[in-house]
Amino acid sequence: MTNIVLFGPPGAGKGTQATILKDKYDLIHISTGDVFRYNIKNQTELGLSAKSYMDKGQLVPDEVTINMLQAEVEKNQDANGFIFDGFPRTEAQADALDTFLEAKGTKVHAMIALEVEDDILVERLLERGKTSGRADDADEEVIRNRIKVYYDETAILKNYYQKKNRYFGVNGVGSIEEITERLSMVIDQLMK
């Protein structure tokens, strides 16, 4: 089993690359956003709990988020591994994920971060905003704030995984195929 935390700032191409990598390596892609939307839409116990916090404008507590992701892993017991996208976001979440996976006899093998300069991210997101219909992709100030929040949050996790020798930064600039090739070189080394 190979488990990867895929990271990168907004506009780095995580969604695109996760889709390609999950097919190439037969992994399960777990996107925190998708899991939240699914649980809320289907009014699961965890979804209703998460929605109660979101409706008040509060962050969903780690425990609720972790329980949702654990449920996704449990649903896919025979998987070759997972790509975690948008999780963990805090050291507490990273610890909880490690503890959970260790109980299953596995671990996070790598945090792979797509590294892209801010100006390129802004350019990509503004371009995406023309067709995505997402308001947060249309305003440069909002985009720059999202990028800042990403760096503020993930600096801790970069250090967390570097201490475990599991952090890999990958150049996220180039064609989709070039970036996939760079990511694949890291994953192929992990699977040896």
Active site residues: 14, 89, 128, 134, 146
Confirm whether residue 166 is marked as ligand binding.
no
Confirm whether residue 44 is marked as ligand binding.
no
Contact predicate 155/79, CB 8 Å: no
**Residues counted in the chain:** 192
Confirm whether residue 154 is marked as ligand binding.
no
Confirm whether residue 182 is marked as ligand binding.
no
Q: What is the per-residue DSSP string for 75-128?
A: HTTT-SEEEEES---SHHHHHHHHHHHHHTT----EEEEEE--HHHHHHHHHHH
CA 79 to chain CA mean position, Å:
18
Query: Would you call 13 exposed, middle or buried from its count of C-beta atoms within 10 A (0-12, 13-18, 19+)?
Result: buried
Confirm whether residue 122 is marked as ligand binding.
no
Confirm whether residue 106 is marked as ligand binding.
no
Confirm whether residue 88 is marked as ligand binding.
yes
Confirm whether residue 32 is marked as ligand binding.
yes
Confirm whether residue 144 is marked as ligand binding.
no
Provide the token pair at 20.
């390609």
The three-class DSSP label of residue 51 is: helix
Task: Write out the binding residues for AMP.
Answer: 32, 37, 58-60, 86-89, 93, 134, 146
Task: Write out the binding residues.
Answer: 11-16, 32, 37, 58-60, 86-89, 93, 128, 134, 146, 174
Task: Write out the binding residues for ATP.
Answer: 11-16, 128, 174
